[in-house]
Amino acid sequence: MAIELQNVSYTYMANTPMERQALSGISLEIQEGSFTAIAGHTGSGKSTLLQHLNGLIHPTNGHVLVDGVDLQPKKKAERRRAKAAAQQVGMVFQYPEQQLFEETVAKDIAFGPQNLGLSEEEIEGRVREAMELMHLDYATFKDVSPFALSGGQMRRVAIAGMLALRPKYLVLDEPTAGLDPRGRRELTETITRLHREEHVTILFVSHNMDDIVRLADRVVVLSKGRLLAYDTPRRVFQQDVLLEEAGLQPPEAFQLAACLREAGIEIPVDTMREEEVVSRVLELFRGRRG
């Protein structure tokens, strides 16, 4: 099972003087169970790509398939199936806490399941489950106003609202933007656990290359609407020319390692995680390396 993009192109305001091609001929397959990052400079097509994944917009050319089902069916009879497939993809936009609106945390999270027409019991079960998955204690938070929470907690509530719909694929657009360091760390830990223990397939857009190296097993690099790379972060971030073209910088830890090498501390060129910098410098100082 997978999300497949087959030669997807998208043109905004086609056949007008404002016409702009946001995506050109993108083909890629995001396997169920993977943890994929999407990186690219502002205007590279990241947001346009995301909106294709659950059928918010359809390609001008090409196809998007979720678990083998085309999200833009040709026949009317296939629409129901396409809708069900699109619902497998849960989308969490940037600053999702701005979309919170209910009086209590539990009511806000219940909004999605209620729209599915589920029973009260089922809804409560899902709210409870989603809150636990997002590390929000049910008894403590269920009756609290979402607006009385910290920024990090509000974002958890917003993501829980999506998880209550039990999507198989969870798409997050810059999930940690604007959070303080603790909020960032806690949220990335929670997302990692969702992937590892609940087997939710994760796709996330990030400007933080250190997060991408730490979390993702594959990274999609977009530039000017084209797919520049789809590979492991470790391989992608060692390619200066590619990064330059994409307008990206390697992870901070990678830059730190490069700076150390320039000073004669000869740690390997693929050092790009904070813990690796520490362990490799230690190895060098203790003379364990040949």
Partner 1 sequence: MSFITVQNVSHIYHAGEEQEHRALSDISLSVEEGEFVAILGTNGSGKSTLARHINGLLLPSSGHVLVDGMDTQETENIWNIRREVGMVFQNPDNQIIAAVVEDDVAFGPENIGMAPDRIRKNVHEALETVGMTHFRSFAPHLLSGGQKQRIAIAGALAMQTKCLVLDEATAMLDPRGRQEVMETIQRLHREAHITILLITHFMEEAVKADRILVLNKGEVFASGTPREIFSQGEALENIGLELPLASRVAGALAGQGIPLTDTILTKEELAAALRELYETR
Residues that bind partner 1 in the complex, under the rule CB under 8 A: 41-43, 94, 145, 147-148, 150-152, 177-185, 207, 209, 247-249, 252-253, 255-256, 259-260, 262-265, 274, 277-278, 281-282, 284-285
Q: How far is the CB of 256 from partner 1 (least distance, A)?
A: 4
- Taking the least distance from each CB to partner 1, the nearer of 42 and 119 is 42
Estimate the share of the chain in helix, then strand, then coil, as percent rounded to the nearest 5: 45, 20, 35
DSSP readout, 114-127?
HHTT--HHHHHHHH
How many angstroms separate the CA atoms of 130 and 159, rounded?
9
22 Cβ contact partners less than 8 Å away, ≥ 6 residues apart:
10, 11, 12, 45, 48, 225
Q: Residue 105 in contact with residue 157, Cβ under 8 Å? A: yes
Question: Of 117 and 181, which has the nearer Cβ to partner 1?
Answer: 181
Closest CB 284 distance from partner 1, rounded Å? 8
Distance from C-alpha of 233 to C-alpha of 211, rounded to nearest angstrom: 10
- The total of other beta-carbon atoms located within 10 Å of residue 150's CB is 13
Is the CB of 2 or the CB of 258 nearer to partner 1?
Answer: 258
Contact assessment for residue 219 and residue 230, using Cβ atoms and an 8 Å cutoff: yes
**Would you say 276 and 262 are in contact if contact means Cβ atoms under 8 Å apart?**
no
- Structure token pair of residue 245: 């073209």
Cβ proximity to partner 1: between 14 and 278 the closer is 278
Tell me how far apart the alpha carbons of residues 149 and 159 are, in angstroms, rounded to a whole number.
14
Q: Which is nearer to partner 1, 149 or 163 (CB)?
A: 149
Considering beta carbons, is residue 155 or 218 the nearer one to partner 1?
155
CA geometry: angle at 165 spanning 163 and 167, to 5°?
70
HSE toward the beta carbon, residue 172, CA cutoff 13 A = 34
The distance of closest approach from Cβ of residue 236 to partner 1 in the complex, given in angstroms and rounded to an integer, is 15
Shortest Cβ 13–partner 1 spacing (Å): 13
Minimum distance from CB of 183 to partner 1 (Å)?
6
- Which residue, 139 or 263, is less far from partner 1 as judged by CB? 263
Minimum distance, C-beta of residue 143 to partner 1, in the bound complex (Å):
13
Instruction: For the CB of residue 217, give the shortest distance to partner 1 in the complex, in Å.
Output: 22
